[in-house]
Amino acid sequence: MSKMIFGAGSILIGSMVVPALAADKGALPTFATLNAARPANLYSWMSPEIGNAWKSGFRGQGTTITVIDDFRSANANRGNLGNGVQNLRHGEWTRLQAGMIAPSATLASHDFYSARAVPLATRGLNVLNLSYGMYAAAGFNANQIGWSAQESSIISYANGRGFIAKAAGNDGVNIGAANRGGQVDYLNAALTGKTSAVFVGALDRNGTPTQKASLASYSNKAGSQSAVQSRFLSVGLRGDVTGLYGTSFAAPIVSGYAAVLGSKFTSANGTQIANQLLATARQDTIQNYNIAIHGRGEASIARALAPVSIR
């Protein structure tokens, strides 16, 4: 398949330019998709660890993954996550991927263009997937941005009310740095230091101690800020298999992992889930591991599930 890179790149949802501070356009409301019929199938782009989690009975049941993304534009992209070649919108891809990792989680879709506050489920762990960036010219701080109700709600949830997986971005720069166009992702800035937000970078494969992975060339890096380094994870992204490249497709893997973890630790909040994934990340599966590049390392659902309880 042709190589296409999607994700938080330059005021981007996927490959589509959007207003950095979009006004409410009265778009589609959030809706939930019931998921009793979703099978748990292990595909080659996935880490084998997820199959073992399913066999242990942890499939995301009792949790809700809300995907904030494009669900209504005319832009469709071609890919194959193992169930045949499809042409889907960006949000349809990220929702599908998260649901394949956590096949018993409830999936909720929030159209990005609504700019409306994102609602949370009243029971169980809430996981929010953000495979987009909010870009503007460098020189501001996050407190100077006039956020819509959508981003304001997301930022408010990031101190424990929900687990947030934020795509790191596809500019090949440190999080917080300007890209080649002089633009900064201020949503990354607003989430820096939040206790239940995790930045997600992309590796070129699922690493093992004998076949180590490297950060994908396009993926943003953890950089020098300790507040980012301590909350940065990476996962293998097999674009060579799926035709889908970009940290947009790394974030839903971590969203799925969080939901699977929440189906074991049913009373844990978003901060506890985030801390567990971060504390159990692996460095021995990454070539020339460097905290300024890879943050805490490669997410390991097997290690995260291992304890009897978490705090």
Under a CB-based contact definition with an 8 Å cutoff, are residues 144 and 298 in contact? Answer: no
Pairing of the two strands 197-203 and 163-167 = parallel
CB 246 within 8 A of CB 94: no
The C-alpha atoms of residue 60 and residue 103 are separated, in whole angstroms, by: 7
Asked if residues 208 and 240 have their Cβ atoms less than 8 Å apart, the reply is no
Confidence at residue 129, expressed as pLDDT on a 0 to 100 scale: 98
Residues 293 and 175 sit within 8 Å (Cβ to Cβ) = no
| pTM for the full predicted model | 0.91
Q: Are 306 and 281 in contact (CB under 8 A)?
A: no
pLDDT (0 to 100) of residue 308 = 86
Orientation angle between helical segments 90-101 and 251-264, nearest 10 degrees? 30
- Buried b or exposed e, range 13-42, using 16+ CB within 10 angstroms: bbebebebbbeeeebeebeeeebeebebee
Q: Are 21 and 28 in contact (CB under 8 A)?
A: no
pLDDT on residue 206? 97
* Segments of the chain scoring below 70 in pLDDT: 1-37
According to the model, what pLDDT value does residue 16 have? Answer: 30
Identify any residues that bridge with 73 across adjacent strands, giving them in sequence order: none
Question: What are the structure tokens assigned to 69, written together?
Answer: 């993304």
Q: Could you say which architecture CATH assigns to the domain 12-305?
A: 3-Layer(aba) Sandwich (3.40)
pLDDT (0 to 100) of residue 141: 85
Tell me the C-alpha distance between 302 and 310, whole Å. 14
Helices 270-279, 251-264: inter-axial angle, 10-degree rounding: 110
- Give the residue from 101, 131, 129, 285 showing the smallest Cα distance to 205: 285
Sign, CA torsion 292/131/191/279: negative
Instruction: Give residue limits of the domains in the chain.
Output: 12-305
pLDDT attached to residue 208: 97
Cα-based angle 130, 136, 139 (whole degrees, multiple of 5): 120
How far apart, in Å, are the Cα atoms of 98 and each of 31, 59, 106, 145, 219? 16, 11, 10, 29, 19
pLDDT of 133 reads 94
Q: Nearest Cα to 274, choosing from 222, 221, 311? A: 311
